Amino acid sequence: MHCVVIGAGVGGLSAAIALAARGVEVTVLERAATPGGKVRQLTVGGAVIDAGPTVFTMLHVFEALFDASGATFGDYVRVQPVAVLARHGWRDGTTLDLFADREQSTDAIGSFAGAAAARGFQRFAADAARSYATLEPHFITRQRSTPWGLAARIGAHRPRDLLSIKPFETLWAALGGYFSDPRLRQLFARYATYSGASPFAAPATLMLIAEVEARGVWAVDGGMFALARGLERRGRELGVRFRYGAEVAEIITGSKGVTGVVLASGEQVAADRIVVNADPAALAVSLFGASARRGVAAMPPARRSLSAMTWTGTARADGFPLVHHNVFFADDYRAEFDDIAAGRLPVSPSVYVCAPDHDRQAGLPAGGRLHMIVNAPAIGAALPGEALDRCETAMFDQLARCGLALDRRAGIRTTPADFAALFPATQGALYGRASHGWRASFQRPGARTRIPGLYLAGGATHPGAGVPMAAVSGRLAADALLSDRDHVSMGRSGRKATAGGTSTP
Ligand X SMILES: Cc1cc2nc3c(=O)[nH]c(=O)nc-3n(C[C@H](O)[C@H](O)[C@H](O)COP(=O)(O)OP(=O)(O)OC[C@H]3O[C@@H](n4cnc5c(N)ncnc54)[C@H](O)[C@@H]3O)c2cc1C
Applying CB under 6 A, which residues contact ligand X? 6-12, 29-32, 37-39, 52-55, 247-248, 277-278, 282, 308, 310, 373, 423-424, 430, 458-459, 465-467, 470
- Closer CB to ligand X, 90 or 191, in the complex: 191
CB of 431 to ligand X, least distance (A): 6
CB of 411 to ligand X, least distance (A): 15
- Closer CB to ligand X, 139 or 179, in the complex: 139
CB of 495 to ligand X, least distance (A): 34
d(CA 197, CA 299): 16
- Closer CB to ligand X, 120 or 223, in the complex: 223
Query: Which residues have CB under 8 Å from 391's CB, separation 6+?
Result: 309, 345, 346, 349, 374, 376
d(CA 417, CA 170): 29
- Closer CB to ligand X, 9 or 380, in the complex: 9
Alpha-helical regions (H) of 298-384: 333-341
Pairing of strands 307-318, 405-414: antiparallel
d(CA 135, CA 206): 11
| φ, ψ for residue 85, nearest 5 deg | -65, -45
CB of 430 to ligand X, least distance (A): 4
- Give the residue at shortest CB distance from ligand X: 9
Question: CA 433 from chain center: how many Å?
Answer: 12
d(CA 151, CA 134): 11
Strands (E), 330-480: 351-354, 368-376, 405-414, 454-456
- Closer CB to ligand X, 227 or 402, in the complex: 227
d(CA 403, CA 90): 9
- Closer CB to ligand X, 177 or 222, in the complex: 222
- Closer CB to ligand X, 113 or 460, in the complex: 460
Residue among 241, 201, 220, 279 at smallest CA distance from 74: 220
DSSP at 366: T
CB of 37 to ligand X, least distance (A): 2
CB of 160 to ligand X, least distance (A): 30
Pairing of strands 273-276, 351-354: unpaired
- Closer CB to ligand X, 10 or 117, in the complex: 10
- Closer CB to ligand X, 29 or 317, in the complex: 29
Residue among 284, 187, 206 at smallest CA distance from 464: 206
CB of 338 to ligand X, least distance (A): 22
Burial class from Cβ neighbours inside 10 Å (0-12, 13-18, 19+) for residue 101 reads middle
CB of 479 to ligand X, least distance (A): 16
- Asked if 38 contacts 499 with a C-beta cutoff of 8 angstroms, the reply is no
CB of 423 to ligand X, least distance (A): 5
Which DSSP string corresponds to 83-138?
SEEEEEEETTS-EEEEESSHHHHHHHHHHHH-HHHHHHHHHHHHHHHHHHHHHIII
Question: CA 256 from chain center: how many Å?
Answer: 33
**b/e code 120-139 from CB counts within 10 Å (16+ = b):** bbbebbebbbbbbebbbebb
Helices 115-135 and 182-189: crossing angle, nearest 10°?
A: 20
- Closer CB to ligand X, 466 or 501, in the complex: 466
- Closer CB to ligand X, 31 or 485, in the complex: 31
CB of 2 to ligand X, least distance (A): 17
CB of 122 to ligand X, least distance (A): 26
